[in-house]
């Protein structure tokens, strides 16, 4: 049914929009930008910051446009003296309770509050509190919170509650004492936080930032006794460019590789290569369970945020988890075993760095369950996409001027199947490509599985494979994972294979990805644009199934043996364990 349309005027310009549209959205459709701080579409529409107020003819007071619906014949004014004065006063009051060390703030050039101050020409704050001190909480392995920079917009708490159904942070106390924190002001490390970082990318200021791993990486790079190897995740190549002003979805793989070489890394390999090994192991594991009565549904284990959520909230599903390490951890394991042996380097002298779209990877690299038989942890440090961008900037590189480079080949050749890991449904499709080919033959098996593509919260599909109907499910965002798991527990849902990603839309929308202001996050389909770039790269790859990779073939033949075999299991698999839930 077509929606009822509403006619109104915004700044005397006739506008027609669907019934239920907010004034903020209607103004945007007419080419008028209304500033906002607390607004995040579909997640945090509470009208609390009062920056988005507008004047509505006939109304007694100014209205918060992000929550005020349009009506027939409405006349709205977005830039009157009364509106400008109110917005400026509100902003000054917000700044009065904000520690302003902008020059040294981690958020610096990506702060929505700073940008608004510039837009409103605020060159001094009449009510500034010059005595504010940092209020740092840095107990978690992935995140630092500084409440002296928090503006109480509640975007972080909304993301934690609505996207992830975790809800470990919220407003404590009342009035002037209100602050964001965990229940009873416990440290974040003592909560059920899954380290996903969705709160961080939702935050408009420097109140939240990732734990900075750059200093330790730089120390390793300058240590003559360390052989430093780096590998970027699949999605990083289609998001890194945003940090340098390039269009959303620009694939900058070549420039990224050149930058990594110029930063001084001894080898620049590709985590995509490890993703191909993930498919070989995971596909073999799924076929084994399917044919020999193993625990079904089998659930993917690539997302450490999802893994931690499962271990804390749904430990009964741990037997269903694939025992495969994530591509990041397989990458490190292969570098410190296969590559170390081939290069004649002691694994203890190799320092492995990953570049991830994910803050939970900082937690994953510290998990003792990941330790290798030789005593090494697979990965020593995990950088976010943002941290890599800062390293490139600090090194004085003009990123957009860099030539295209190539990965070092030993662990730098991958397939299209590994490229699409960064999008929700990508792991499932990559696995299905190899599983179907194993059962049907490469020439008879389908190459693309469009049913599991796209950013729909929960996707289902059924495939007829020789001797078996396979039911699959893909869900991203932990709130959606919860829906699926509860449905399985109640008997309403039944699947053979499930892909879960902690972040909505998958890794392309991870907590370690480039920061975008709310007006971009709310009205630009970041997930789709970034994912489309991955699928486009997949289409142009020489090999599009993981088992076709020449690196995969060589490593199994000369080093690992059979997929799922003893040596492969020793290096590329691990165990997952129930985690303590902190009941608050």
| Residues known to be catalytic | 282, 285, 302, 322, 361, 364, 369, 507
The label of the residue with tokens 């620009």 reads: 250
- Which CA distances in Å does 91 have to 127, 214, 521? 11, 33, 21
Please give the structure tokens belonging to residue 480. Answer: 């959606």
H-helix or E-strand spanning residue 577: none
d(CA 224, CA 410): 23
d(CA 465, CA 451): 15
Exposed / middle / buried, residue 221 (Cβ in 10 Å: 0-12, 13-18, 19+): middle
Count CB atoms within 10 A of the CB of residue 175. Answer: 5
d(CA 115, CA 108): 10
Q: Assess contact for 198 and 513: CB atoms under 8 A.
A: no
Q: Assess contact for 308 and 363: CB atoms under 8 A.
A: yes
Please give the structure tokens belonging to residue 360. Answer: 């939970």
User: Would you give the end-to-end CA distance of the chain in angstroms?
Assistant: 45
CA nearest neighbour of 426 among 461, 467, 384, 454: 454
d(CA 529, CA 245): 15
**Phi, psi (degrees; rounded to nearest 5) at 142:** -115, -15
């Amino acid at each position: 049914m077509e929606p009822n349309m509403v006619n109104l005027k915004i700044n005397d310009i006739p506008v027609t929009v669907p019934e239920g549209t907010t004034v903020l959205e209607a103004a945007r459709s007419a080419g008028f930008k209304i500033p906002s701080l607390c607004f995040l579409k579909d997640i945090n529409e509470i009208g609390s910051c009062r920056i988005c107020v507008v004047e509505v003819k006939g109304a007694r007071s100014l209205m918060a446009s992000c929550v005020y619906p349009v009506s027939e014949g409405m006349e709205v004014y977005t830039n009157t003296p009364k509106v400008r004065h109110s917005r400026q006063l509100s902003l000054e009051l917000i700044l009065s309770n904000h520690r302003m060390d902008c020059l040294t703030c981690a958020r610096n050039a990506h702060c929505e509050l700073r940008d608004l101050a510039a837009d409103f020409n605020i060159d001094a704050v009449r009510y500034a509190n010059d005595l504010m001190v940092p209020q740092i909480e840095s107990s978690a392995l992935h995140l630092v919170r500084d409440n002296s920079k928090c503006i109480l917009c509640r975007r972080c708490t909304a993301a934690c509650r609505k996207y992830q159904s975790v809800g470990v942070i919220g407003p404590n106390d009342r009035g002037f004492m209100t602050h964001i924190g965990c229940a009873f002001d416990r440290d974040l490390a003592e909560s059920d936080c899954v380290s996903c970082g969705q709160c961080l990318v939702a935050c408009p200021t420097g109140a939240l930032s990732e734990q900075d791993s750059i200093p330790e990486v730089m120390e390793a790079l300058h240590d003559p006794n360390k052989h430093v190897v780096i590998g970027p995740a699949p999605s990083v190549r289609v998001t890194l460019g945003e940090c340098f002003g390039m269009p959303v979805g620009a694939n900058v793989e070549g420039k990224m590789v050149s930058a990594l070489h110029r930063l001084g890394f001894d080898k620049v390999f590709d985590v995509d290569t490890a993703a191909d090994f993930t498919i070989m192991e995971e596909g073999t594991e799924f076929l084994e369970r399917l044919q020999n009565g193993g625990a079904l549904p089998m659930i993917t284990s690539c997302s450490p945020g999802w893994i931690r959520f499962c271990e804390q909230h749904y430990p009964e599903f741990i037997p269903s988890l694939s025992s495969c390490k994530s591509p990041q951890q397989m990458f490190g394991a292969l570098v410190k075993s296969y590559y170390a042996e081939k290069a004649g380097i002691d694994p203890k002298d190799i320092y492995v760095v990953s570049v991830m779209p994910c803050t939970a990877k900082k937690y994953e690299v510290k998990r003792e369950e990941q330790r290798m038989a030789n005593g090494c942890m697979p990965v020593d440090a995990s950088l976010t996409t943002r941290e890599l961008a800062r390293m490139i900037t600090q090194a004085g590189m003009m990123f957009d001027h860099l030539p295209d480079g190539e990965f070092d080949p030993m662990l730098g050749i991958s397939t299209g199947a590994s490229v699409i890991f960064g999008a929700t449904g990508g792991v499932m499709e990559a696995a299905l490509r190899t599983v179907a080919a194993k059962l049907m033959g490469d020439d008879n098996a389908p190459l693309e599985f469009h049913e599991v593509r796209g950013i729909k919260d929960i996707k289902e599909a059924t495939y007829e494979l020789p001797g078996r109907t396979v039911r699959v499910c893909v869900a991203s965002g932990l709130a959606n994972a919860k829906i699926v798991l509860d449905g399985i527990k109640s008997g309403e849902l039944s699947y053979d294979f499930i892909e879960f990603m902690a972040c909505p839309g998958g890794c392309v929308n991870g907590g370690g990805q480039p920061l975008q202001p709310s007006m971009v996050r709310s009205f630009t389909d970041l997930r789709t644009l970034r994912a489309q770039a991955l699928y486009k790269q997949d289409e142009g790859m020489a090999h599009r199934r993981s088992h076709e990779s020449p690196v995969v073939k060589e490593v199994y033949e000369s080093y690992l043996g059979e997929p799922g075999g003893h040596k492969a299991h020793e290096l590329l698999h691990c165990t997952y364990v129930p985690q303590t839930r902190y009941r608050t």
